[in-house]
Each structure stands twice: as structure tokens, then as C-alpha cells.
């Protein structure tokens, strides 16, 4: 096992991406980056991460941040419950840990929105704790190393893989680099499709006969389809936005009306759009409705873009409305 660890860490030293949040080993920055990287590629989330850290450089600044600003900073990353949990976690850290993240994986797991992987990443990378950090990349690497053909979405199989990872951990001195090396190997070499086995530093330890077929997962059920008709109300150069309900998809964020207004001066049908969530698809049509009066919920394009957290599901319609306003 020591040779395995050594080969992996040596490869990491020469081939890792210069990710600032991991190189600095700042627990706050690692936490934010790892939450943002859930469901999002690291390269895609980096601009959001940099903007967030510039605006909110520490836990205290998150705990004291206005919710509207917080969701605006998160806009484009999706899965907004992650953002809400960051705020809850920051408040708890201020109240219980003097504005710092706790040191141990066990204590980190008690915080809102922090699961086993994120807790392990913070504890091992920032604090040098000898604990595992098992994400999708690591599950893929170990399912191939041990040629595991069981469904990795099952809790029992995940626990089996976590046990194998725990048994592979090096000393505290090397734990930070080892865990990062496993993540990096899964991201750069042991990739989901067409793994680059010829570049793998631990290929000689791998038992997989057909690496590309692993990890094994039972096929998901087809996504549910929901049909929606949006009515985008425009008065002069302003657009009507409404805050969504506090429950359900995109809870508490902003969107457009789903009830047809009583009086319409002119209506224009917009190009339809399908937005795909993890378990549901929204098949949307939209009507641009010119109206003759406004209220406080009408905002200029500039106000929407600078201050309103409009989810990506509605962005194609905003783009079309902007084009209409520019042509006027």
C-alpha cells in the first residue's frame, strides 16, 4: 500500500491543477469551493468562486450577508438549497465556533449542508486530519481498482468503497496530498468515459478488466415532464418579476408570472424552452404581454441583471424580452 500511496502522490505533485483554494489550504475557501463544485465542473464554477470570495472573504461576511445578495452571487450555479445551507452553516459557525469551521470530520458533519465528502475534504486538506474524502471521482477510481460490479448508488456499496478508501489512507503528513491526488486522478485520468489508463500512475494496482464500464449504476427512472406557460409582463421598458413560493423547485427565487393578466395591449409568443433538472423537465412556452400599468414588481433590465437572482431556467426568455426592448 505504501508504494501505491507514493506513486499516486508523486504523480499528483507533477500533474495537479493549480487550484488556489486547495493550494492555500484555507478551510473557508475549501468549503465554498467544494459546495460550489457539487453538480458543477470545477472549471465552470471558478468564476463564481472568485466573485464570491472577493465579495465575501470569510465566514462572518457570509453570516451577515443579505439573502438577496447571497442568491445573486450564486446565480447560475443552480441547486439553490446549497446556497441557503451555506448561510445557515456560516451563522452556526459564528455562534458556536467563533466564525471558524471546526477541525474534525465529526464536528463538521453536524453543520448544515456539509456531508461526509465535504467534511473529509476540509478536515484532511485544511487541517491535516487523517480522514477520507470520498466523492464521485474517488468512488469511480476505487470501483475500478477493485473491479467492483455492484451498484455504487446503493448505501451498502458506498460504505464498502469508503472502507477500502479508509484502509488506503497514508500518515497525517501525506493525507492532504493523498486525498487531493485521488480527486485529481478521477478528474483528469480515471474519467467516466474512455479512461486514460495509459497515463495512470497506479494502473499496475488496478484489477478492472473493463474500466470504462465502471462504476456500475442502475439506470435512473425517466425524468418527469411538467408543462408551463409563462406570461412575461412588460410596461414601457420594465419587466414584471415575481418571487416564487418558499417550497418546491427554485423556492424563494424570482421568476415570471404563470397567470395570464386580465388586460393585454399586445402579446408576442416567444420561442419555447426546455429546462432539465435532475428529476424533472420543464417544457415551457412563454408569452410577452404588453400592459398599460405597473407596480413595484416591475424592474428594469439593469435592475434584474444586477440585483435579482433569476434562475437559469428563465434566462432564455429574459434574453428574448431584452431583444424586443432593444428593437423598440
Query: What is the full per-residue pLDDT of the chain (328 aa) written as tens digits?
Result: 799 999 999 999 999 999 989 889 999 999 999 999 998 999 999 999 999 999 999 999 999 999 999 999 999 999 999 999 999 999 999 999 999 999 999 999 999 999 999 999 999 999 999 999 999 999 999 999 999 999 999 999 999 999 999 999 999 999 999 999 999 999 999 999 999 999 999 999 999 999 999 999 998 889 999 999 999 999 999 999 999 999 999 999 999 999 999 999 999 999 999 999 999 999 999 999 999 999 999 999 999 999 999 999 999 999 999 999 998 7
Same domain, 154 and 103: yes
The last residue of a domain, from among 182, 213, 244? 213
- How would you class 2 by CB atoms within 10 Å of its CB: exposed for 0-12, middle for 13-18, buried for 19 or more? exposed
The last residue of a domain, from among 144, 178, 213? 213
pLDDT for residue 220: 84
Give the count of domains, the chain. 2
User: Which of 3, 20, 29, 34 is the catalytic position?
Assistant: 34
Only one residue has cell 484532511, namely 124
- How would you class 269 by CB atoms within 10 Å of its CB: exposed for 0-12, middle for 13-18, buried for 19 or more? exposed
Contact 128, 170 (CB under 8 A): no
DSSP annotation of 200 = -
Say whether pTM exceeds 0.85: yes
Same domain, 53 and 164: yes
Please give the Cα distance from 79 to 59 (Å, whole number): 21
Residue 255 domain boundaries: 224-327
Same domain, 182 and 314: no
The CATH code of the domain that includes 242 is 3.90.79.10
Q: Is 34 a catalytic residue?
A: yes
Only one residue has cell 477500502, namely 164
Same domain, 119 and 40: yes
pLDDT for residue 1: 79
Amino acid at each position: 500500500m505504501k508504494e501505491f500511496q507514493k506513486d499516486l502522490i508523486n504523480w499528483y505533485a507533477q500533474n495537479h491543477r493549480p487550484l488556489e483554494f486547495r493550494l492555500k489550504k484555507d478551510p473557508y475557501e475549501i468549503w465554498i469551493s467544494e459546495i460550489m463544485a457539487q453538480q458543477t465542473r470545477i472549471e465552470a464554477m471558478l468564476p463564481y468562486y472568485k466573485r464570491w470570495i472577493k465579495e465575501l472573504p470569510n465566514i462572518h461576511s457570509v453570516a451577515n450577508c443579505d439573502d438577496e445578495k447571497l442568491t445573486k452571487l450564486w446565480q447560475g450555479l443552480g441547486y439553490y438549497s446549497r446556497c441557503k445551507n451555506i448561510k445557515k452553516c456560516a451563522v452556526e459557525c459564528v455562534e458556536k465556533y467563533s466564525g471558524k469551521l471546526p477541525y474534525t470530520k465529526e464536528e463538521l458533519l453536524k453543520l448544515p449542508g456539509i456531508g461526509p465528502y465535504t467534511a473529509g475534504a476540509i478536515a484532511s486538506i485544511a487541517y491535516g486530519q487523517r480522514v477520507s474524502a470520498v466523492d464521485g471521482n474517488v468512488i469511480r477510481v476505487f470501483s475500478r481498482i477493485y473491479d467492483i460490479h455492484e451498484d455504487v448508488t446503493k448505501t451498502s456499496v458506498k460504505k464498502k468503497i469508503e472502507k477500502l478508501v479508509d484502509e488506503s489512507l497514508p500518515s497525517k503528513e501525506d493525507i492532504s496530498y493523498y486525498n487531493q491526488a485521488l480527486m485529481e486522478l478521477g478528474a483528469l485520468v480515471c474519467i467516466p468515459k474512455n479512461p486514460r489508463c495509459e497515463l495512470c500512475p497506479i494502473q499496475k494496482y488496478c484489477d478492472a478488466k473493463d474500466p470504462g464500464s465502471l462504476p456500475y449504476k442502475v439506470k435512473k427512472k425517466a425524468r418527469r415532464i411538467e408543462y408551463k406557460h409563462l406570461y412575461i409582463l412588460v410596461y414601457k421598458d420594465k419587466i414584471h418579476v415575481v418571487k416564487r413560493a418558499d417550497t418546491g423547485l427554485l423556492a424563494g427565487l424570482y421568476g415570471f408570472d404563470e397567470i395570464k393578466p386580465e388586460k393585454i395591449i399586445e402579446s408576442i409568443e416567444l420561442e419555447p424552452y426546455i429546462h432539465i433538472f435532475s428529476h424533472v423537465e420543464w417544457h415551457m412556452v412563454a408569452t410577452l404581454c404588453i400592459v398599460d400599468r405597473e407596480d413595484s414588481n416591475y424592474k428594469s433590465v439593469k435592475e434584474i441583471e444586477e440585483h435579482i437572482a433569476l434562475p437559469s431556467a428563465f434566462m432564455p426568455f429574459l434574453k428574448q424580452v431584452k431583444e424586443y426592448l432593444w428593437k423598440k
